[in-house]
Amino acid sequence: MRGEKGGLPVTDGVFPESKEFLLGYWIVDVASPERAYAIAGRISAAPGPGGLPTNMPIEVRGFARYPEANPS
Amino acid sequence: MKFILMMTGKKADWDDYTKWSKEDLQRNVVFMRGFSKELKDSGLFVATEGLAWPGEAKIVRAGKNGEPITEGGFPESKEFLGGYWIIDVESPEQAYKVAARVSAAPGPGGKAASMPIEVRQVLSSHAEVGL
């Protein structure tokens, strides 16, 4: 999706095989990055086929502080 | 229907922002602030966040004993989420229109940046996928 002349939406629905797609996320408020990594490790251990841990990769990112993004 | 509008780009795309002039950044911030306010005023707003720079991103997996294993190296081709909005709209087409407005946010020199916005439906519960 990109804006075009006149602000009309131009959609494009074809993605390279290499593209990663977000499937879901959690937002956690923690005292340190290490605490966030520990929580992500638990999610990564969620059971998959046969009950074995999926070892699914979990991307962990901090938030920026943009007060303007959430005006009260 | 809830949709997420994601600003995604490769690390190099995000690094470009550090080269923008203060005036260009200011103009973009004013636009984004107005855009979020407009979403709130029109009742479409659900949530928005901006993420820290991709240089701080880590991938975490569970180790054998449940200890987290972190990795911080990413291919140049990897796309990183920079920020997102979640909106509640009547149709996908309405979400595309809102996404186009963000895509037209001013970039360097005040010209529309035409930033690509990935639009995906948000499923609120496992029931929605039959579980």
CATH of the domain at B43: 3.30.70.1060
Which residues form the domain of A42?
21-62
Mean pLDDT of B19-35: 93
Query: Is A7 in CB contact (< 8 Å) with chain B?
Result: yes
Torsion of Cα atoms, B49 then B53 then B56 then B59, to 10°: 60
Q: Which residues of chain B does A66 touch, with a Cβ-Cβ cutoff of 8 Å?
A: 32, 50, 83
ipTM, two decimals: 0.84
Question: Who among A1, A58, A68 is closest to B103 (CB)?
Answer: A1
- Classify B16 as helix, strand or coil: helix
Question: Who among B37, B100, B115 is closest to A9 (CB)?
Answer: B100
Cβ A57–B51 below 8 Å, yes or no? no
- Is residue A55 domain-resident? yes
Residues B104, B32: Cα–Cα separation, whole Å: 11
Query: pLDDT at residue B61 above 80?
Result: yes
Please count the structural domains in chain A: 1
Query: pLDDT at residue B83 above 70?
Result: yes
Please count the structural domains in chain B: 1
Q: What is the mean pLDDT of chain A?
A: 84
> Considering only A4-8, B14-18, B73-77, which range has the smallest mean pLDDT?
A4-8
Mean pLDDT of B57-74: 89
Q: What are phi and psi of B97, to 5 degrees?
A: -65, -45
pTM over 0.95: no
Higher pLDDT, B130 or A50: A50
Which residues form the domain of B68?
2-129
- Is residue A70 domain-resident? no
Give the number of other CB atoms < 10 A from CB of residue B50: 17
Q: What is the DSSP string of A5-62?
A: GGG-EE------TT------------SSHHHHHHHHHHHHT-B-GGG-B----EEE-P
**Nearest residue of B to residue A52 by CA position?**
B64
- Is residue A7 domain-resident? no
The H or E element spanning position B26 is: helix B22-41
Mean pLDDT of B85-91: 97
Nearby residues of A9 by Cβ (< 8 Å), 6 or more positions away: A1, A2, A3, B96, B97, B99, B100, B103
- Classify B15 as helix, strand or coil: helix
Residues A10, B110: Cα–Cα separation, whole Å: 21
